Amino acid sequence: MFYKYYDELTWEEVEKLDKEKCCVLLPLSSIEQHGKHLPVGTDDYILRMCMEQLEEKENPSDITFLCLPILGIGTSDEHMTFPGTISFSATTYFAIINDIVTALAKHGFKKLVTVNGHGGNTSLLAGFSQEMNLKHHVVVYNLEIPAIYNNCNCVESLKDIYVPVDIHAGDMETSMMLYKEKELVHMEKAVNVDVEFEPYFSGWLTRDFSETGTLGRPLLATEEKGKLLLDYITDTMAKILVKIGKK
């Protein structure tokens, strides 16, 4: 087992932990539209797939990894013009995670890893990490699952995924959902939508580019590809977490 569940421990067990050899994981996802073919909980489903598969791996280090419950709503303003999306404001989201870190710091924990499954949370988490270090002396690392699967072309069998347009509800997310949650996928409604974002335009809304909410090529998705992606992602996560744990 790679990690233990934080909420299964008693307070006495938490008190006895060697905090110098503990690393707390905070999984973060979102509830937001994912085109006409995927459920609004897609990011959450994929994050759970990753965490469940990660749990089954061996932990080769002497670090105790503790996993908090998933925070299933994130910042998803870019998708709010589509029904079903629920989004915290940046202020609210920051306050929630700040309160979590404040509590962890009070009880002696020194290291937190946000395991983020939603790209819309990324920029907020980056600035947050530095402030938490200054305020609470808790070192916060950000493990970005979207960044991992955006490097999937390094795997020979995944070279056909065209990452530059696979932004949202595309080939990768649809493949993983087909692999694990096929009954929730409506492939008859899937459409390919290729988009190029200007690097200096961060205020975009999904509706500016896609009437369906899809940004990518879901019609190329397969269950086989989903399994390969999930294996690649969780193998990479385990390596990163062990590296962080030893710091």
Domain ranges of the chain: 4-245
Q: What whole-number distance in Å separates Cα of residue 216 and Cα of residue 172?
A: 9
* 64-81 per-position pLDDT tens digit: 999 999 999 999 999 999
State yes or no: pLDDT of 196 exceeds 90: no
pLDDT at 136: 86
Which residue would you say has higher pLDDT here, 244 or 131? 244
Residue-wise pLDDT tens digits, 120-138: 898 888 888 888 888 888 9
Q: Given this model, what pLDDT does residue 199 score? A: 72
Tell me, what's the pLDDT at 40? 98
β-bridge partners, 62: none
Rounded distance, CA 183 to CA 98, Å?
A: 37
pLDDT for res 131: 86
Residues 6+ apart with CB under 8 A from 109: 19, 22, 24, 138
- The model's confidence at residue 197, banded by pLDDT at 50, 70 and 90, is confident
Identify the bridge partners of residue 25 per DSSP, sorted by sequence position. 67, 113
Confidence grade of residue 231 (pLDDT, cut at 50, 70, 90): very high
Mean pLDDT for the chain? 95
| Residue 107 DSSP class | T
Structure confidence by residue, pLDDT tens digits, 6-50: 999 999 999 999 999 999 999 999 999 999 999 999 999 999 999
pLDDT average, residue stretch 205-214? 94
Cα(137)–Cα(104) distance, rounded to whole angstroms? 11
Tell me the pTM. Answer: 0.95
With contact defined as beta carbons under 8 Å apart, do 32 and 43 qualify?
Answer: yes
What is the average pLDDT across 42-59? 97
Q: What percent of the chain stands above pLDDT 90?
A: 87
Note the pLDDT of residue 168: 96
> How much is the pLDDT for 35?
98
Q: How far is CA 25 from CA 134, 148, 164, 244, in A?
A: 20, 17, 29, 11
Tell me: domain 4-245, CATH 3.30.70.260, correct?
Answer: no
pLDDT at position 202, please? 74
| pLDDT at 192 > cutoff 80 | yes
Q: What pLDDT, on the 0 to 100 scale, is given for residue 42? A: 98
